[in-house]
Amino acid sequence: MTYDPICTPPEAREIEARRAKAQAAMSDAGLDALVLVNPDNVFYMTNFANFVHERPFVLVLPANGDPVFVMPRLEEPHVRIRSVGTLEFAPYFEFPAPEGEGWDAKLKDVLSGASRVGIEADCPRFVSDTLGTRETVCEIIEDLRAIKSPYEISRHQYACDVMMLGLEELLTQCKPGVLAMTAYGAASSKMTQKMFSDLPTANIFSTDLKAGAQPQKITHDPHNFTDFFIPFTEGGPHVSLAAGRANGYGAEVERTFFLGHVPEAAKRPFDVMMEARALAYALAVPGAIMHDVDAAVNALLRKAGYGDNLLHRTGHGFGVTGHEGPFLAEGDMREIHPGMVFSIEPGIYLPEVGGFRHSDTVLITETGNHNMTPYAETLEELTLPV
Amino acid sequence: MTYDPICTPPEAREIEARRAKAQAAMSDAGLDALVLVNPDNVFYMTNFANFVHERPFVLVLPANGDPVFVMPRLEEPHVRIRSVGTLEFAPYFEFPAPEGEGWDAKLKDVLSGASRVGIEADCPRFVSDTLGTRETVCEIIEDLRAIKSPYEISRHQYACDVMMLGLEELLTQCKPGVLAMTAYGAASSKMTQKMFSDLPTANIFSTDLKAGAQPQKITHDPHNFTDFFIPFTEGGPHVSLAAGRANGYGAEVERTFFLGHVPEAAKRPFDVMMEARALAYALAVPGAIMHDVDAAVNALLRKAGYGDNLLHRTGHGFGVTGHEGPFLAEGDMREIHPGMVFSIEPGIYLPEVGGFRHSDTVLITETGNHNMTPYAETLEELTLPV
């Protein structure tokens, strides 16, 4: 199964279908309005993304009809350029503003007829405090975002292709003596060039293309990006990654690699990581519980003696961001459904030896799953000549 | 008056002074604990910044003693590398997590003795909802951040110097026929190189160096970044900007400029913008009310006939971000104090002619103000040869 990669904005019917589904869920929950502040949710419902600043952007979805966008007047012309599907505009002049002229007055107007208002779990208090006691936290948009449409899957495939290009460039750059910074610059710029060559009007505010690699010295600490001037050395494990969003859809691909040779101490943890990964692929199928996938993977890793060397769950979701729910994690009791997209990336982190992790962007299909970032993965393929 | 530019992290006593001030304000407000989730507030109180993801980072400042940082165990090693001042660690394994093992259980533990808890105005509901009814919204850290220490002023001066370098490169690149994208790439990369040459361990997660210019065609819509492939043309007004954060401190400098010649229709709005700017400099002094500065500037612009061509307030604050409160805006009734840093950037936006705006990073001094981004500003200086 393959999906054609595309990077073009959604058509109106795609956005309208999302709104209709959200309004159906609102009806089930008895909500008169849904208040969206999270920029990723606003993007999902409108295709509008810009840089977020202290001027509030609040999208109100009513029980019926078009959403109303409370936003700074300053932004209206390019909201009109970017947004897809019909929108009503409720612009305010500035933030802050004299009493009665600001965003909060506009929002109160828009919500004047609503007695039960849904808000997001991450709704900031300064917004929810304006709603009185009408509000109820709900996860309607989060739930919708978890299941991708065919259009969205094609967007993810495009993002995956960009990430694989970045990873390829990165691994070409990584040689003993080369600084992490050098490899980072070349690969990130290649990804950015591809994105804007394919679509000159790509939105930089929903694009975030990163490619980087950790030299062996710090791979045991996977979020350590405190020094980009460490050189790569012969041996390994080094860990490379290309991740982020390409014009609004997320993906990542990460590979543990070696330069010239594989140190003896690295062979077993690499093999165990690959076993854990294979187990995750076998278990991450429709009908499984997310918790169970992670629990089984962690049990395998603990049984192999690496119980003290785990730093994270098996995987996270992708969507209009590169890192979101749902999670292949102990404690996430949700069921896996077709159309979900997860990273599969069990890792082992040994302070003296290094970090071992591959990550891929994986689509859940009707019958199992499909790796959307097929890339070299064996120890042989990933031991690069120096 | 000048401040030596510096880009090095704060010393422990700088961070400890902030904590002591916050604890004094907490005492005045009768708070047992202050819960900080906003990454910029966490950075201000710890010097720690990393990429923010769905795993919560919550800093708890108690009434007395060291802050306690609830955060993913995954992050602990580089929190230790980056943070300044003593911290207690309350790491959790993963998000989500089985009941009783996640971030919320840790936070409840840390707050077990607190009966009155301060939260930020932008505290997300999923955090504030765990606090029961103990919480009260306060602006203690926002108020502290508004007044810069001598150390912070020197950090801002460094950021200003980086931005001026970026602007210089940008204006060198901008010629008729050159695409906005080309100029953007060259200038941004020059700023990044300077930052990491000066301080190889600069934190990329608190660095955000952007330089860009809008060709005349879109300058009437100042936040329009929807097409980077528009070429510059002879004439103008074009609007250039360098803005963001250099290793944790914000600044910006923006200039309206012309290529080859100044169209007749651009002369008066440029002059009026310069008058509005001069008025803002005259009024933005200690003891003035922020509202009054903006109201006077807007009155001048309206009187000159540009009342329908205003899109934003006179200015915003800078600090550990490049865009924050307090604001030189109608409706912001706060008093201006020495140590505040504002942009001064009144603008005029004429759909057929273009946008007119200079912006600078301006320190409020004991006796007036000081432009930290001195750069060419007259029509003659900013009409570039082609």
What CATH code is carried by the domain that includes residue A52?
3.40.350.10
Residue A3, in any domain of the structure: no
Nearest to B224 by CA among A42, A59, A79: A79
Same domain, B91 and B154: no
Same domain, A125 and A167: no
* Neighboring chain A residues of B204 at a CB cutoff of 8 Å: 225, 228
Number of domains in chain A: 2
Same domain, A80 and A225: no
> Nearest-CA residue of chain B relative to A290?
B96
> Nearest-CA residue of chain B relative to A135?
B125
Nearest to B377 by CA among B290, B261, B256: B256
Same domain, A103 and A232: no
| Tokens 């495939």 found at | A157
Same domain, B232 and B155: yes
pLDDT of residue B1: 61
Same domain, A246 and A328: yes
Same domain, A218 and A332: yes
pLDDT of residue A3: 85
CA distance B151 to B14: 8
The verdict on a CB contact (< 8 Å) between B316 and A54 is: yes
B34-90 confidence digits (pLDDT tens): 999 999 999 999 999 977 788 999 999 999 999 999 999 999 998 999 999 999 999
Q: For residue B327, how many other CB atoms are within 10 A of its CB?
A: 25
Which of A145, A163, A192 represents a domain boundary (last residue)?
A: A145
The verdict on a CB contact (< 8 Å) between B227 and A200 is: yes
* Neighboring chain B residues of A221 at a CB cutoff of 8 Å: 77-78
pTM above 0.95, yes or no: yes
Q: How confident is the model at residue A227 (pLDDT cuts 50, 70, 90)?
A: confident
The verdict on a CB contact (< 8 Å) between A137 and B125 is: yes
How many angstroms from the chain centroid is the CA of residue B185? 22
Q: For residue A253, how many other CB atoms are within 10 A of its CB?
A: 29
Residue B5, in any domain of the structure: no
Tokens of A297: 């993977």
What CATH code is carried by the domain that includes residue B271?
3.90.230.10
| Domain region containing A280 | 147-384
Mean pLDDT of A287-302: 98
Q: How confident is the model at residue A1 (pLDDT cuts 50, 70, 90)?
A: low
Which of B91, B123, B145 represents a domain boundary (last residue)?
A: B145
Residue A1, in any domain of the structure: no
Same domain, A131 and A191: no
The verdict on a CB contact (< 8 Å) between A329 and B96 is: yes
Mean pLDDT of A98-118: 96
CA distance A150 to A124: 32
> Nearest-CA residue of chain B relative to A102?
B331
Distance from the Cα of B27 to chain A's closest Cα (Å) equals 23
With 90 as the cut, is the pLDDT of residue A127 above it?
A: yes
Residues paired with A246 in a beta bridge:
A249
Residue A5, in any domain of the structure: no
Q: B-contacting residues of A 328-347, CB under 8 Å? A: 329-332
Tokens of B283: 């009024």
Mean pLDDT of A192-202: 93
Same domain, A233 and A259: yes
B273-321 confidence digits (pLDDT tens): 999 999 999 999 999 999 999 999 999 999 999 999 999 999 999 999 9
DSSP for B51-86 reads: ---SS--EEEEESSS--EEEEEGGGHHHHHHH--S-
Is the Cβ of A121 closer than 8 Å to some Cβ of chain B? yes
Is the Cβ of A81 closer than 8 Å to some Cβ of chain B? yes
The verdict on a CB contact (< 8 Å) between A94 and B227 is: no
Collapse the DSSP code of B324 into the 3-class scheme (helix H, G, I; strand E, B; otherwise coil) and give the result. Answer: strand
What is the residue-averaged pLDDT of chain A? Answer: 96
Which of A145, A180, A197 represents a domain boundary (last residue)?
A: A145
CA distance A74 to A80: 12
Residue A4, in any domain of the structure: no
Pairs of CB atoms within 8 A across A/B: 146
| b (16+ CB within 10 A) / e for B290-304 | bbbbbbbbbebbeeb
CA distance B361 to A237: 45
A131-153 confidence digits (pLDDT tens): 988 999 999 999 999 999 999 99
Nearest-by-Cβ selection for A226 from B81, B121, B227: B81
Residue A2, in any domain of the structure: no
Residue B373, in any domain of the structure: yes
The verdict on a CB contact (< 8 Å) between B228 and A196 is: yes
Nearest to A214 by CA among A249, A174, A271: A174
| Tokens 């009806």 found at | A27
Nearest to B269 by CA among B231, B223, B310: B310
* Neighboring chain A residues of B53 at a CB cutoff of 8 Å: 323
Nearest-by-Cβ selection for B124 from A72, A81, A122: A122
Same domain, B91 and B151: no
> Nearest-CA residue of chain B relative to A137?
B125
With 80 as the cut, is the pLDDT of residue A14 above it?
A: yes
Same domain, B225 and B274: yes
Residues of chain B above pLDDT 70, percent: 100
Is the Cβ of A225 closer than 8 Å to some Cβ of chain B? yes
Q: A-contacting residues of B 273-292, CB under 8 Å? A: 291
Q: What is the longest distance spanned by two Cα atoms in chain A?
A: 70
Residue A295, in any domain of the structure: yes
The verdict on a CB contact (< 8 Å) between A327 and B96 is: yes
Same domain, A52 and A161: no
Q: What angle do CA B12, B17, B19 make, to 5 degrees?
A: 95
The verdict on a CB contact (< 8 Å) between B331 and A102 is: yes
CA distance B95 to B108: 16
